[in-house]
């Protein structure tokens, strides 16, 4: 996916991890088949910030929240659009990873939709229209393949989403290999 590179550094506000087990499952819904039916690994977490997370601080925030997938992240972070992220998630869910065949069309869409809803922090049971509207108000970033955590073969996803109030960061990273 072509992403507009993000440059700049800015202080990162204090943060805390807020991921619940249900949230982690929803975040990773689109790529879960990579871990259960292939050789994939996943990181899916959410974080709350005490102050607004400025756009120039997103890269530094991804490094500071202690994720394995962003360890050593210095380049490779770029902005992306919700449709670009959707295409990655739908492909992951519907076609699968290196050693599985995915969930195909309808179930692939459902699982990708669950991941999008969780990434944007939509309320449980939110309508498709509400999730889509919220997705377009969020700031989306891609970092697939940007660190040694990724296998860099064919199955890499790295998405970070900042909420409209700039106080929540959701991260989904997945990599699979043959």
Average pLDDT over the chain reads 92
pLDDT, residue 5, reads 61
Taking residues 160-169, what's their average pLDDT?
Answer: 98
pLDDT, residue 15, reads 97
pLDDT tens across 108-161, in order? 999 999 999 999 999 999 999 999 999 999 999 999 999 999 988 888 999 999
pLDDT, residue 8, reads 66
pLDDT of 6 above 70 = no
34 vs 97: CA distance, rounded Å? 5
pLDDT, residue 154, reads 81
Contact 44, 27 (CB under 8 A): yes
Give me Rg for the CA atoms of the chain: 15
* High-pLDDT (> 90) share of the chain, %: 76
Taking residues 7-21, what's their average pLDDT?
Answer: 90
pTM listed for this prediction:
0.93
91 vs 77: CA distance, rounded Å? 21
The CA dihedral of 85, 67, 121, 11, to the nearest 10 degrees, is -100
Taking residues 28-32, what's their average pLDDT?
Answer: 96
The CA dihedral of 149, 170, 62, 160, to the nearest 10 degrees, is 70
**Domain residue ranges in the chain:** 20-39+72-176
Q: How confident is the model at residue 92 (pLDDT cuts 50, 70, 90)?
A: very high
Nearest to 113 by CA among 140, 139, 85: 85
26, 90, 123, 148 from 114: Cα distances, Å: 6, 10, 11, 27
Considering Cα of 159, then 97, then 22, then 45, what sign does the dihedral take?
Answer: negative
User: N- to C-terminal Cα distance for the chain?
Assistant: 21
* High-pLDDT (> 70) share of the chain, %: 96
pLDDT of 77 above 70 = yes
15 bridge partner residues = 49
């Amino acid at each position: 996916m072509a992403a507009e590179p993000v440059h700049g550094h800015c202080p990162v506000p204090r943060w805390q991890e807020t991921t619940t087990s249900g949230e982690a499952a929803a975040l990773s819904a689109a790529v879960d088949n990579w871990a259960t039916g292939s050789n994939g690994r996943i990181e899916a977490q959410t974080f709350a910030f005490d102050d607004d997370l400025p756009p120039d601080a997103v890269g530094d925030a991804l490094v500071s929240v202690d994720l394995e997938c962003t360890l050593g992240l210095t380049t490779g972070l770029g902005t992306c659009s919700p449709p670009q992220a959707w295409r990655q998630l739908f492909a992951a869910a519907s076609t699968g990873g290196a050693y599985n065949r995915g969930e195909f069309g309808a179930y692939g869409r459902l699982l990708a939709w669950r991941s999008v809803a969780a990434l944007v922090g939509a309320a449980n049971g939110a309508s498709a229209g509400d999730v889509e509207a919220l997705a377009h108000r969020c700031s989306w970033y891609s970092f697939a393949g940007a660190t040694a955590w990724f296998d860099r073969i064919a199955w890499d996803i790295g998405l970070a989403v900042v909420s409209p109030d700039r106080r929540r960061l959701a991260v989904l990273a997945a990599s699979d290999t043959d």
